[in-house]
Amino acid sequence: NSLDLLLDKLYNTNELSRDELIYVLENLDEEHTQKLFDYARRTRDRYYGNKVYMRGLIEFSNICRMNCLYCGIRAGNSKAERYRLSEEEIFECCREGYALGYRTFVLQSGEDPWYTADRVVSIIARIKKSFPDAAITLSIGERDDDEYRAFFEAGAERYLLRHETASKSLYERLHPGASFDNRRRCLWVLKEIGYQVGAGFIVGLPGQTKQDLVEDLLFLKQLNPHMIGIGPFIPHKETPLGKEKAGTVEDTLVMVALARLLVPDCLLPATTAMGTLHPRGRELALMAGANVVMPNLSPVWARPKYELYQNKICIGEEAAHCRSCIERRINSVSMEVDMGRGDHYKFRQKR
């Protein structure tokens, strides 16, 4: 059977052509999906064993100058209650996280110009000074190249910037006023500067085709990022896509597994959006080749306001609760929590 041959080829070489990927997506049945997940798990185990790396997520501002059609904190959503954490409040989240054992903090926000390069540098320096053994990941969108450089020099070592979709026409429809080419350029610049870089995409966007998803996978193969974030589209009622259908757990799991096989050494989160669509969504992602989780360290009062999509999980939970909840979930799929920095293996000796 040619599907078996293609899956074997993918497992053995970590490569498939555009036509081969299309063939796989069009012909996957239940049996071959299980085989795909099995290969993805084995590939993950070869590089990272059964460890799941923990990242503490701090959502420090939901103010955003962008207007992405799918996103609940888009500038155009006048119903969103906006907030910003001060440097002090961000630092407090890190302190709580550090005490719980976290050694990576992901600082995420909308594209909020109040956080000038100087302010961001000051926040990074403050965290680095108190917690020199913790890694800082930024997820604050598109910035100028020299700002990216300044953040890196201040001590930020990782940057998450999903490419969102590799289809130029879909990208332009979903991101009014934004540049498809600049976003991709940013990813190359970040790599060039020396960050561990995370790209990724949304599965099940309105109008997205199998061909588009194959382009997402091929772009990842080409960029070869250190981290890959993949999650299902989930509608938010105060957005133009509020009445559209959500992506599916099944389609997203297939993309997670294919990303694992095409970029075998990447760090790949079981995303919160997966946990939102299905009670065991994150566990299923771990069983399809994921090996990172990002529990929330944001202040409980801020969580419901950082509503990218509806019904987001962990809204009412304290950080300590999420820490133990997630550990139980990880153990339920025979994996183990790793509270270390969880660097990409190419970066392990350097720092």
Residues near ligand FES (CB under 6 A) = 295, 314, 317, 321-322, 325-326
Figure out which of the listed residues 111, 164, 307, 338 binds ligand 5AD, where binding follows CB under 6 A. 164
Nearer to ligand 5AD (CB atom), residue 271 or residue 291: 271
Rounded Cα–Cα distance for residues 225 and 198 (Å)? 6
Figure out which of the listed residues 102, 152, 171, 233 binds ligand 5AD, where binding follows CB under 6 A. 233
Figure out which of the listed residues 308, 319, 330, 337 binds ligand 5AD, where binding follows CB under 6 A. 308
Min separation Cβ 325 and ligand FES, Å: 3
The amino acid present at 12, given as its one-letter code, is: N
Min separation Cβ 57 and ligand FES, Å: 10
Q: List the strands of the sheet with 158-160, edge to edge.
A: 56-61, 104-109, 135-139, 158-160, 196-203, 227-232
202 binds, among ligand 5AD, ligand FES, none (CB under 5 to 8 A by kind): ligand 5AD
Q: Which stretch binds ligand 5AD (CB under 6 A): 26-34, 59-67, 114-122, 226-234?
A: 226-234
Burial class (CB in 10 A: 0-12, 13-18, 19+), 246: middle
Nearer to ligand FES (CB atom), residue 128 or residue 321: 321
The yes or no reply on residue 71 touching ligand 5AD (CB under 6 A) is: yes
Nearer to ligand FES (CB atom), residue 16 or residue 326: 326
242 half-sphere exposure, CB direction, 13 A CA radius: 10
- DSSP letters for 309-346: STT-SSSS--HHHHHHHHHHHHHHTT-EEE-S----GG
Rounded Cα–Cα distance for residues 203 and 210 (Å)? 10
- Vertex 188, ends 255 and 106: CA angle to 5°? 65
The pair of structure tokens assigned to 13 is 């070489």
The pair of structure tokens assigned to 249 is 């757990």
Rounded Cα–Cα distance for residues 93 and 123 (Å)? 12
The pair of structure tokens assigned to 14 is 């970590």
The yes or no reply on residue 64 touching ligand 5AD (CB under 6 A) is: no
Nearer to ligand 5AD (CB atom), residue 156 or residue 335: 156
CA 140 to chain centre: 12
Q: Which stretch binds ligand 5AD (CB under 6 A): 171-179, 185-193, 229-237, 261-269?
A: 229-237
Min separation Cβ 60 and ligand 5AD, Å: 13
Q: Which stretch binds ligand 5AD (CB under 6 A): 77-85, 150-158, 233-241, 332-340?
A: 233-241
Min separation Cβ 158 and ligand FES, Å: 21
Figure out which of the listed residues 162, 175, 226, 344 binds ligand 5AD, where binding follows CB under 6 A. 162
Helices (H), 287-318: none
The pair of structure tokens assigned to 264 is 């075998």
Nearer to ligand FES (CB atom), residue 182 or residue 332: 332
- If you search the block for the tokens 């809204």, which residue do you land on? 315
Nearer to ligand FES (CB atom), residue 110 or residue 295: 295
| DSSP conformational letter for 150 | H
Residues lying near ligand 5AD in the complex (CB under 6 A): 70-71, 162, 164, 202, 231, 233-234, 236, 273, 308-309
